Structure 1
Amino acid sequence: MSAQQPSLGGGFVDVGGVKTWVHDVGSGPAVLLLHGSGPGVSAAANWRLTIPALVAAGHRVIAPDQLGFGQTVPPEGHEYSVDSWLAHAVELLDALGVERASVVGNSFGGAMALRLASGHPDRVDRLVLMGSVGVPFPITEGLDAVWGYQPSVESMRALLDLFAYDTSRMTDDLARDRYEASIADGADERFAAMFPAPRQRWVDSMVLPVEEIRAITAPTLLFHGRDDQVIPLTTSLNLLHLIGRAQLHVFGQCGHWTQIEYASDFNRLLADFLA
């Protein structure tokens, strides 16, 4: 169990030879949660308010630290790529004996969820994308700052203020905790290897061709904060037009963290959609 988040459960699973930290709790239809790509991020940090709500709604919730994030450390010399992250997600489902799941992807995790729904439609029941990458856009100053993070408490505090609309919720204690997470066990070196400058190429590498997005048949729910400074609202508007069975919910006075800034509304809408 995680010492920081005991209520979320958690343990290591061998996924293609990689010790992968996974929160696997609850019972019922499976839901796979794929977190974003901020420094110091983990499944627990991203989904701490979501996991208990989905368990209470009758789901088995599977929330991994994706390859290179949190406590999931790839082999030395591993080259990060969209393909390696996607393969890791599919191999995780295999390792856990999950044939089919609904998939919820946040930001970078949304790009992985999109690819899962496109490349492995037989594995995906319903699709939920939050402030998702996956369609073309010029990289924002916010995302460039996130991927270009240089570890310090001050830099982390500045990033937290980028993520949230109401910056009063981003405390110095939270900044210190996330800073510590961003340097723990070589996390800063792993993160620096993921998205080196020039960073537009990493946005482009996560773009799914239009015809592949149009071919997605899974019922899809899109979330976006209207005031998101990291991923522009236009990405979700474009996905709404491309995915046939899609609906979009936009939160006003909300930044990039819809699942935290509007947790109760987000959880209710998500549980209703997955029911």
Structure 2
Amino acid sequence: MASLSQAQGNPKNKPVVYGEQLEGFDYAYPVHIYAFESQAEEMHMAYIDSPPSNASKPNGHTAVLLHGKNFCAGTWETTIKALNDDGYRVIAPDQIGFCKSTKPERYQYSLHQLANNTRALLDSLGIGKSIVVGHSMGGMLAIRYALMYPDAVERLALVDPIGLEDWKAQGVPYSTIDQLYARELKTSADSIKNYQRNTYYADEWKPEFDRWVQMLAGMYRGPGLQAVARNSALTYDMIYTQPVFYEFEQLKMPTALFIGWKDNTAIGKDTAPPEVRARLGNYKELGKAAAARIPHAQLIEFEDLGHAPQIQAPERFNKALLKALDEN
């Protein structure tokens, strides 16, 4: 296994090019492939399966880490290490349509389908019950997974999940898939970095963040641009049209909610009227409101962090995550 310092990336923002399944970019952990058929197409789902470290005693628990919309399994690398060191086995998949997994030409995307794919992967690995940790879009997916398979979820950890509000009900106008696709074709390293700086890292920037910018930008520079953009557009439509907001009360398992107060993520906010835009993505309030509605919820807040605390302040986040998981 490559060490974290040896993991490939491109910290100097050079114009790297990666394949549509992120060929050429290495994660810090070995990547495995789960092959299956879905919607009459052959698929492969890339995933990390990392055992407890040699220095720790296995604790008998498996943590499943679900990445966000603009993230990958590999972006969990410091959290994987922290969990392994605490005795957890970790499974971190790349969802279909993302990163190192298949970008299908035609796919009916739904959170239900992605949850079903994830359940099938875990079944293939003999994993019945697990702790599910979801970040951003992965938080929405974790909620859907927990609602579909409550007996398979030991506990839930939601890290700045999107879906804490229903954007269409708030007044965000609908964008067609064609409109989303046209926008995605224009994606560049600069547009990715500007968005991440303002949303993920609360206007803070560290050189190590550039690696994740290049990971995404490299796919948009590559020969798979159209497939990457098309699948990204389809998953944006999925997120906008399939709220989990109205089902929080149905979550019965212990749930830890990790919220960065400086997060301001809201799907379609840039297309909304100014008066709508001003009230969207207020995570300081959204986190409190969600925690009040989710039974057995614990709220952990980071007053100075944005949308990706596991990357912005990994030591603090990982310490808080392990504490929350070990308390119950």
Q: Provide the TM-score with structure 1 as the length reference.
A: 0.85
User: Could you tell me which amino acid in structure 2 is paired with residue 96 of structure 1?
Assistant: L
Q: In structure 2, do the counterparts of structure 1 residues 187 and 12 end up closer, same or farther at CA, with 3 Å as the change threshold?
A: farther
* TM-aligned CA deviation for residue 182 of structure 1: 4.2
Matched, 1:19 2:54: no
Amino acid at match of 2:46: W
* Counterpart for residue 10 of structure 1: 31
1:265 match: secondary structure? helix
Report if aligned partners of 1:129, 1:221 keep a CA contact under 8 Å in 2: yes
Q: 1:236 to 1:192 in 2, by over 3 A?
A: farther
* Other structure's SS at 1:239 match: helix
Count of aligned positions: 266
For residues 250-269 of structure 1, the C-alpha deviation after alignment (integer angstroms, 9 at most, x for no partner) is: 11121111111121111111
- 1:215 is aligned to 2:250: yes
Question: Which of 199, 206, 228 in structure 2 is aligned with 1:169?
Answer: 206
Residue 219 of structure 1 and its aligned partner are, at CA, apart by 0.7
Question: Matches of 1:200 and 1:24 in 2, distance apart?
Answer: 30
For residues 25-73 of structure 1, what are the alpha-carbon distances to aligned partners after superposition, in whole Å with 9 as ceiling and x for unaligned? 11431100000001xx31102x021111100010000000111101110
Q: What residue number does 2:189 align with?
A: 153
What's the Cα RMSD here?
2.9
- Output the CA distance in 2 between the equivalents of 1:191 and 1:85: 18
Aligned to 1:206: 243
- 1:55 paired to 2:55: no
Q: Indicate conservation of the 8 Å contact 1:136/1:203, yes or no.
A: no
Structure index of larger Rg: 2
- For the structure 1 residues 217 and 75, does the alpha-carbon distance in structure 2 shift closer, same or farther, using more than 3 Å as the test? same
- TM-superposed CA distance for 1:6, in Å, is 5.7
Shift of 1:248: 0.8
Q: Render the CA deviation track for 1:219-269: whole Å, top value 9, x for unaligned.
A: 110011101121531432232011110011111121111111121111111
Secondary structure of residue in 2 paired with 1:50: helix
In structure 1, distance between residues paired with 2:31 and 2:80: 12
Q: Separation in 2 of the partners of 1:49 and 1:33? A: 12
Q: Do the aligned partners of residues 94 and 200 (structure 1) sit closer, same or farther apart at CA in structure 2, a change above 3 Å counting?
A: closer
The one-letter amino acid paired with 2:315 is: S
Match 1:32 to one of 64, 69, 73 = 64
1:178 to 198, 212, 216: 216
1:189 aligns with 2:227: yes
Query: Relative to 1, partners in 2 of residues 1:62 and 1:266: Cα closer, same or farther, differing over 3 Å?
Result: same
Q: 1:240 corresponds to which residue?
A: 291
Secondary structure of 1:164's counterpart equals coil
Equivalent-residue separation in structure 2 for 1:154 and 1:180 (angstroms):
12
Q: TM-score, normalised by structure 2?
A: 0.72
Give 5+ residue unaligned stretches, structure 2.
9-25, 53-59, 267-280
Q: Using the aligned pairs only, state the percent identity.
A: 28
Q: Which residue of 2 aligns with 1:267?
A: 318
Partner of 1:73: 102
Q: Are the equivalent residues in 2 in contact too, given 1:20–1:64 (CA < 8 A)?
A: yes
Q: Is the 8 A contact 2:103 2:231 kept in 1?
A: no
Q: Which residue of 2 aligns with 1:257?
A: 308
Cα–Cα, structure 1 residues 83 and 6, in superposed 2: closer, same or farther, change >3 Å?
closer
Partner SS, residue 205 of structure 2: helix
Instruction: Please state whether the residue corresponding to 1:102 is helix, strand or coil.
Output: strand
> Do 1:259 and 1:266's aligned partners in 2 also have CA atoms closer than 8 Å?
yes
* Segment drifting more, 75-84 vs 99-108: 75-84
Q: Which moved more, 1:57-66 or 1:162-171?
A: 162-171
TM-aligned CA distance change 1:32 to 1:168, over 3 Å: same
* Alignment deviations for residues 134-169 of structure 1 (CA, whole Å, 9 cap, x no partner): 34333799xx9x995432222122122122114331
Amino acid at match of 1:190: V
* Structure 1 residue 23 displacement after superposition: 0.5
For each residue in 1:3-24, what CA deviation from the matched residue of structure 2 results, as whole angstroms up to 9, or x when unmatched?
Answer: 7356422221224452111110
Unpaired runs of 5+ residues, structure 1, are none
The answer on whether the counterparts of 1:136 and 1:204 sit within 8 Å (CA) in structure 2 is no
